[in-house]
Amino acid sequence: MTEFLLAASGFVLAMVSLGLIRVLRGPGNADRMMAAQLLGTGGIAGLLLLGTAAGAGATADVALTLALLATFAAIAFVKKGSSRSPDAPQSGT
Amino acid sequence: MSAAVDLFTIVAVSAGVFFFLAGTVGLLRFPDTLTRLHALTKADNLGLGLVVLGLLPRAAGPVGVLKLVCVWLLVLLGSAAVSQLIARAVRNEGPGA
Amino acid sequence: MTTWESFDIVLAVLVLPLAFWTIAARETFVAVVSYVAYGLLLALVWVRLGAPDVALAVAAIGSGLSGVLLLGTAARLRDVEEQAAAARPSLLLRVIAAVLSVTVAAGLAVALQFLPDPAPTLAPVAARNLAATGVGNPVTAVLMAFRAMDTLLEKVVLMLALVGVWSLAPDRVWGGRQGPRHQADPQGMLVFLARLLPPVGVVVGVYLLWVSADEPGGAFQGSTILAAMWLLAMLAGLTDTPPVSSRRLRLALIAGPAVFLLVGLGGLWLGDSFLSYPAAWAKTLIVVIEIGMLLTVGLTLALLVAGPPERSARQ
Amino acid sequence: MNPLTVAGLWGAAAVGLGLYGMIVSPQPLRRILAFDLLGSGVFLLLGVVARRGAAAGFGGDPVGQALIITGVVVAFAATALTSALWLRLFQETGSATLPDAEGTGADAGAVDSR
pLDDT tens for each residue of C47-74: 888 888 888 998 888 878 888 888 888 8
Mean pLDDT of chain C: 83
Q: How many CB pairs below 8 Å do chains A and B form together?
A: 151
Say what the ipTM of the complex is. 0.87
| Chain C environment of A12 (Cβ under 8 Å) | none
Check residue C27 and report its DSSP letter. Answer: S
pLDDT score, position C315:
54
Q: Which of the other chains make 3 or more beta carbon contacts under 8 angstroms with chain C? A: A, B, D
Cα Rg of chain B, angstroms: 16
Phi-psi region of C243 (alpha: psi -120 to 50; beta: other; left: phi over 0): beta
Neighbours of C131 (CB within 10 A): 12
Helix (H) or strand (E) holding C310: strand C309-311
3-state secondary structure (DSSP) of residue C177: strand
Question: A65-74, C202-211, D91-100: lowest mean pLDDT where?
Answer: D91-100
pLDDT higher than 60, residue D1: no
Close Cβ partners of B53 (under 8 Å, ≥ 6 residues apart) = B12, B16
Q: What total number of domains does chain B contain? A: 1
Q: pLDDT tens digit string along C105-163?
A: 999 888 888 877 777 777 777 777 777 777 778 888 888 878 888 888 888 899 999 99
C258 min Cα distance to partner chain B (Å):
35
pLDDT score, position D43:
92
Report how far residue D21's alpha carbon sits from residue C59's, in angstroms, rounded to the nearest whole number: 24
Check residue D43 and report its DSSP letter. Answer: H
pLDDT higher than 80, residue D49: yes
Report how far residue D16's alpha carbon sits from residue B11's, in angstroms, rounded to the nearest whole number: 43
A85 domain-assigned:
no
Helix (H) or strand (E) holding A44: helix A29-54
CB contact under 8 A, A32 and C59: no
pLDDT along chain A (93 residues), means of 10: 86 86 80 85 90 82 89 80 42 35
Q: Which of D1, D45, D54 sits opposite C123 (nearest CB)?
A: D54
Number of DSSP helices (H) and strands (E) in chain A, helices first: 5, 0
pLDDT score, position D105:
43
**Domain residue limits at B20:** 2-93
Backbone angles phi, psi at C311, to 5 degrees: -145, 160
Helix axes D3-24, C3-24, angle to 10 degrees: 0
Q: What are the residue boundaries of the structural domains of chain D, listed by start?
A: 3-112
Q: pLDDT tens digit string along D60-89?
A: 788 888 889 999 999 999 999 998 888 888
For an interface test with C, give the residue of D9, D22, D24 to mutate (most C CBs within 10 A).
Answer: D24
Q: Which of A26-30, B85-89, C150-154, C275-279 is predicted most confidently?
A: C150-154
Check residue C42 and report its DSSP letter. Answer: H
Check residue D55 and report its DSSP letter. Answer: -
For an interface test with D, give the residue of C1, C54, C68, C153 to mutate (most D CBs within 10 A).
Answer: C54
Query: What is the dotted CATH code of the domain comprising D3-112?
Result: 1.10.287.3510
CB contact under 8 A, C68 and A75: yes
Q: How many CB pairs below 8 Å do chains A and C form together?
A: 181
Q: pLDDT tens digit string along D11-22?
A: 899 999 999 988
Q: What total number of domains does chain A contain? A: 1
The proportion of chain B whose per-residue pLDDT surpasses 90, expressed as a percent, equals 6
Report how far residue C49's alpha carbon sits from residue C33's, in angstroms, rounded to the nearest whole number: 25
Neighbours of D107 (CB within 10 A): 16
A18 domain-assigned:
yes
Paired residues of C177 in beta bridges: C311
